[in-house]
Structure 1
Amino acid sequence: MTHRLRQNLALLRHLSTLAWRASRGETAASAAMHIVVIFGSAGVAQSQRWVIDGLRTHARDRSLTWLLLPAAVAAFAQAASTISTRVAANVAVGLVQKVDVELSEEILGHAARVPTIEHLERADYLDRVYSAAKGSGALAALVRSVTATTVCALMLALSVWLLALVHPALILLGVTTMPVIVLARRGQAALRRVHDETAEATRLESDLNGLLLDPAAAKEIRISGSGPELSARADRLWADVTGAQHRVLVRNAVSEAVGWSCYVLGLAGALALVAHEVIAGRIGMGALVLVVSLSAQLRWQLGALQENYRQAAEAGRVAGHYRWLRDHARGTADPAPAPAPERLADGITLEGVTFGYPGSDEPVLRSVSAHLPAGSVVGLVGINGAGKSTLVKLLTGLYRPTSGRILVDGRPLAAVDPKAWAAASCGVFQGFARLQLLVREAVGVGDLSALDDTVAVTGALAAAGATQLVADLPDGPETQLGTLFGGVDLSGGQWQRLALARGMMRTAPLLLILDEPTAALDPQAEHDLFENFARHARAAAARTGAVTVLVSHRFSTVSMADHVIVIADGRVAESGSHRDLLASGGRYAELYATQARAYEA
């Protein structure tokens, strides 16, 4: 058994388990209905032959009692086949929807289980996640598609067997169905390749259309007048995607027409052969009726087989992305991760840390070495693009070094349970989220264990200087935020204060991060905030030896740090205390003097 086949069988078992878990009754009913369908259509054709041949054999029997059995079989087979087909179709719709829900949660869970976020910035990864998420419905229907394909194949085989009983040469009619199946398979393979090749263009088209409907981007798009151009680009992308798919569909239609032509010629030959045998008296008229009836069924069975195979093939394409995502999530997990320390004794150390994005020739950080002592406040300084935010993401475990290592009290951060380290970290990033929830929820999710703790939420709001902001809202902490759900929209600075409050929910962290968290605040509000945050950091340092990392362009803020690290061109240009760096007259002193002159002006 090949590796690919084992993978497919394992996936089918998994999806069958999901279907059984979603609804045992519907799964069992669907299986039973398919069995009835397989034999129902063949029973109708065979009973018709019995009736026609019986008319000749019992021509003088006026009681017609001989007709009861074949008529009953025909009626029962027809009714059972029709009812079972419709019931199976209706049950399948509901069952597939339930499996789709389970599968969508799995796909998103696999994507969320990857401990880093580096993959979310890679186009190849996003293309595969997009394909897996968008195709979850097709994948959820894989069991139904494979079952229906198998049912059609069995019905086809049963029909060919009945034809062979009429005359051995009629088995050749079954052979003429092979071009239809083979050419359909090739066509679906070509279509799957096009879907994969156009995944990035499809995702970009979807993102562009989403951007046009995004309230956050609406102001800039309207003022710049770029809406029509963005829409036109989305249209061109869609035209390219649909054009590529259309060309494949046209080629598939031509090849399928060739396959069906072979079948039609085979059917004409079969009917001619049977008619000749009937005229010669070697077989009864019922055989001709059987062949005509089965030929109609063969045509329907071939069409159904093609459609179900198409659906199964599409699900197979999505299955490849699904397996890749699942394996990627499993491959990034440490089988036996170490817990995060309860308290820092030594601190966090970077040893020759280098980081570069996949596909990039130049690393963002190069051989960065530094020690962040336990209980200290460390400032990161540098011009835009120097690598400060990248270093912060490495410290929080959101990125992993390309080379070098990060140690937490002497233990490699890569060996620490990512969930435990995430739970031991808090703060606010430059690109903070605007969570359209109730105010208390938008703050409380900073520490899920205290989500409903009113005292904790109130304390975090006070630490972020957002108490009055919340008091002025229509329903206070119960106010719905954002216009998406008919709530209250906030200014940029107000959203930022709530993000800061969310970052202060954890009271016993090991690592506190403030990455340009006050860009939307005025200088006085920023000063007040950092006074509050300094108290928060000192309290955390006393409890857990927490390290606080502060990233800011305002040197008046960085001056409160115990230790300052200056990043330039992806390297540590200099480090030391604020006073020592000013006295050295290096890069830090130059930047500080430049900013001071700007404020004086």
Structure 2
Amino acid sequence: MIEALSTVLSRVRERAGPFRHLVSLFRLAWTASPSLATASMVLRLLRAILPVLGLFVGKLIIDGVVAQSRLPSLGDNPFVWFQSGRLDGLLVLLGLEFGLAIASTALGRASGLADSLLSERYSNLASVRLMDHAATLDLEQLESSAEQDRLDRARRQVTGRTALLSQLFAQAQDVLTVLSLAAGLVAYAPWLIALLCLALIPGFLGEKHFNAQSYRLDYFRTPERRQLDYLRYLGSSTETAKEIKLFGLSGFLAERFGRFADAMYAENSGLAVRRAAWGVLFAGLGSLAYYLAYFVIVWRTVSGHFSLGDLTFLAGSFLRLRGLLEGLLLGFSQIAGQVLYLADLFSFFELRPGIVSAPAALPVPRPLRTGFRFEDVGYRYAGSETWAVRHLDLTLASGEVLALVGQNGAGKTTIVKLLARLYDPTEGRILLDGVDLRDYDLAELRARIGVIFQDFVRFHFTAGENIGVGRIDALDDRDRIEAAASRSLADQLVGRLPMRYDQPLGRRFNNGVDLSGGEWQKIAIARAYMREADVLILDEPTAALDARAEYEVFERFRDLSHGRTAVLISHRFSTVRMADRIVVLGGGRVIESGSHAALVAAGGAYAELFDLQASGYR
């Protein structure tokens, strides 16, 4: 018995759990605009009592008309009726009913406006919160396909659930209206309310069931939905248009999109048909209860128990109450369904990063004294059986220019991400000036490191902003932006743009100018120089540059990296030979280390790779 009760309570807690997010929703909406939230609630409170007042005034008008009809007629001249004073009470009631109608319309418009503005403010704030929170998460979390699904669901709820705010306020308003109407009906026939509730409960349970089914279907279809979004992007993006045309991929993409879309449509349509069929049955039960009650009210009026005004009031109240109760029950089931989706957003906000600053984080030394040291470092990506790096021992001395070479998958980029603490080692540790990297302030550490990855972002901002985001607190410092552009040789291409540093880049927005791959790369390198960091890391920085541009960039890099710590990753040996030391990686560990001349003379892996590349130029 106790075990069964415990199971029931556990299920109740499980089902009620998502409703706690309604508090989070309201708290976020209140934060977005306390004045609009207050205005919406007050306006709806006023609207809630108008229906019962209107029905009661209508009852008084009908009873007044019936009473006048029983008195001797004063003829057809309206002025005689007005002068007699017999219409004074009716005129007051008609004026009051007109005023209630105007007030209802005005309050409806005002509350709709408040809800609309509040929803927009909420959506904007939730979007900012989503971006801010996503930025705090670990790179490994964001790279996980499961977490990408989670982020995609959260992103959809930022704008997809704004109507829920209005629905919640509307539900609260309807509850107050139901209570006021029920109070009037209880005085006449309390059993009618019980009958109506019993008739509407099956519909509520049915809607609740189908809402849960709909959410479950949508939840497990997230990977397929992301596939649809990706295929839609591939088939209609300027970035992919060239290869789509050259390889004739439009038919292939359309066929794959259709296959995913048809499968989702089949499941969605099946659920919709079942929902509609049961909905008709449940609506019929509600109608049966209403007309049974309506017959009783009519019969009691005919038998003399109710007046015509009572009949009008009761019929109108019961009809209105039926609609409100039906709407409340269905609305509650819809809210219960939406709450499941709302959990996608607020449970994402509850996700916490693993890579954070220590409680008593140390400041990063300035300047760096001894540099970095990897001690038996290993890192394995989540869900992977193989190690990206393992038993790695590596030093990067302060002021040294270090080049990392090796075949694809040797662990070069992983080392860079570990150095910038985008990842933490799975085993071993990384020291900076003899202190574990995890003991330093995370934000300060990353601020002291400038990294440009091969897959750098092409921001569709202005040229100046593309460079300035390398040091966001100096985004408006034009002198610093121009100096960074000069260091990367990007100033020459910016000088050719019609609007120079104010020129929007990319084709996504109006007046945008697209750049070649090499030109984008110079902008990205300028972004790294913008930081004026102690540690400068270039991961395949010249992959899209021609030979002359590559030579110029690295001549400049060698000059600018003097006195700084630098890491250079490149497959081009003409580039890496300018480094103080070259480290050759294989299987996630160091297999050779030394200068270009020493490694060539040793005749090992580096010499073999160098000869293979050099033979291509003979």
Tell me whether the two structures share a fold, i.e. TM-score over 0.5: yes
**What is the match of residue 145 of structure 1?**
167
Partner of 2:221: 198
Contact 2:364–2:441 (CA under 8 A) maintained in structure 1:
yes
For 1:195-594, list aligned pairs within 5 A.
Answer: 195-302=218-325, 304-305=327-328, 308-309=331-332, 312-313=335-336, 315-329=338-352, 333-334=356-357, 336=359, 337-484=361-508, 485-507=510-532, 509-539=533-563, 541=564, 547-594=565-612
Q: Any conservation in 2 of the 1:166–1:287 contact (CA below 8 Å)? A: no
Q: Which whole-Å CA distance do the structure 2 matches of 1:401 and 1:108 have between them?
A: 26
Q: CA deviation at 1:85?
A: 2.3
What's the CA shift string for 1:18-64, capped at 9, x where partnerless?
A: 132xxx2x434322221122111122223333344455566645625
C-alpha distance in 2 between matches for 1:475 and 1:588? 46
CA distance in 2, matches of 1:396, 1:554: 24
**Local SS of the residue matching 2:454:** coil
Give the Cα–Cα distance (whole angstroms) in 2 for the partners of residues 251 and 154 of structure 1: 33
SS in 2 for 1:481: coil
Distance of 2:221 and 2:25 partners within structure 1: 25
Q: CA deviation at 1:533?
A: 0.6
Q: Write the distance in 2 (CA, Å) between the matches of 1:400 and 1:594.
A: 35
Q: Does 1:18 align with 2:10?
A: no
Q: Distance in 2 between matches of 1:597 and 1:119?
A: 43
Displacement, 1:524? 3.4
Match of 1:44 in 2: 54
Which residue type is aligned with residue 486 of structure 1?
Answer: N
> Hey, what does 1:544 align to over in structure 2?
none
Secondary structure in structure 2 of the residue aligned to 1:324? helix
Residue aligned with 2:377, SS? strand
Which residue does 2:185 correspond to in 1? 163
Q: Over residues 150-188 of structure 1, what are the superposed CA-to-partner deviations in whole Å (9 max), with x where a residue is unaligned?
A: 222332343334333221321222332222323222222
Q: CA shift at 1:6, angstroms?
A: 4.6
Letter in 2 for 1:111: A
512-521 or 481-490, which deviates more = 481-490
Q: Alpha-carbon deviation of 1:403?
A: 3.1
8 Å contact 1:12–1:142 — kept in the other structure? no
Q: CA deviation at 1:431?
A: 0.9
The question of whether the paired residues in 1 share the 8 Å contact of 2:21 and 2:343 is answered with: no
Q: How does 1:84-123 map to 2 (within 5 A)?
A: 84-114=107-137, 116-123=138-145
**Deviation at residue 430 of structure 1 after TM alignment:** 0.6
Shift of 1:329: 4.6
1:335-383 per-position Cα deviation (integer Å, ceiling 9, x unaligned): 7344333221121122333323323232322232322121111111111
Equivalent residue letter for 1:598:
G
* TM-score between the two structures when normalised by the length of structure 2: 0.87
1:40 partner SS: helix
Q: Within 1, Cα distance between the matches of 2:605 and 2:392?
A: 17
1:43-94 residue CA offsets vs partner (Å, 9 max, x unmatched): 2223333344455566645625554565455444333333322332233223
1:496 Cα offset (Å): 1.3
| Mapped contact 1:274–1:287 kept (Cα < 8 A) | no
Q: Deviations over 1:281-326 (max 9, x none)?
A: 3333333323321243234324643675466446523431222222
RMSD: 2.8
- Normalising by the residue count of structure 1, what TM-score does the alignment of the two structures yield? 0.89
Closer, same or farther: CA 494–13 of 1 in aligned 2, 3 Å:
closer
Q: Does the 8 Å contact 1:138/1:314 carry over to 2?
A: no
Q: Which amino acid aligns with 1:165?
A: A
**1:11 CA drift (Å):** 3.5
Letter in structure 1 aligned against 2:592:
E
Structure 1 residues 16, 249: closer, same or farther in 2, change over 3 A?
Answer: farther
Deviates more, 1:217-226 or 1:365-374: 365-374
Q: Establish whether residue 136 from structure 1 lines up as the match of residue 152 from structure 2.
A: no
8 Å Cα contact 2:211-2:334 kept in structure 1: no
Q: Which residue identity does 2:381 align to in structure 1?
A: Y
Q: Work out the CA distance in 1 between the residues paired with 2:569 and 2:506.
A: 28
**Structure-1 residue corresponding to 2:81:** none
**Residues 1:27 and 2:37 are matched in the alignment:** yes
For residues 530 and 17 of structure 1, the distance between their equivalents in structure 2, rounded to whole angstroms, comes to 51
Amino acid in the other structure paired with 1:35:
L
Report the secondary structure of 1:166's partner residue.
coil
Aligned residues: 588
Distance change (3 Å), C-alpha of 1:81 and 1:14? same
Q: Please state how far the C-alpha of 1:410 moved relative to its aligned partner.
A: 2.7
Deviates more, 1:63-72 or 1:196-205: 63-72
CA drift of 1:222 comes to 1.0
Amino acid at match of 2:25: L
Residues 389 and 515 in structure 1, CA contact (< 8 A), matched pair in contact too: yes
Letter in 2 for 1:223: L
Alignment correspondent of 2:202: 179
SS in structure 1 opposite 2:593?
A: strand
Change (3 A) 1:294 1:118: same
Letter in 2 for 1:489: D
Any idea what the Cα deviations from partners look like across 1:409-438, whole Å, max 9, x if unmatched? 233323433322221111321112223333
CA contact (8 A) 2:600 2:606 kept: yes
| Distance (Å, rounded) in 1 between the aligned partners of 2:590 and 2:542 | 24
**Contact 1:160–1:173 (8 Å) recurs in 2:** no
Task: Kindly provide the CA deviation profile for residues 200-254 of structure 1, in whole angstroms up to 9, marking residues without a partner as x.
Answer: 2222212221222322221111100102221332233233333332222222222
Gaps in structure 2 of 5+ consecutive residues: 1-12, 73-85
SS in 1 for 2:404: strand
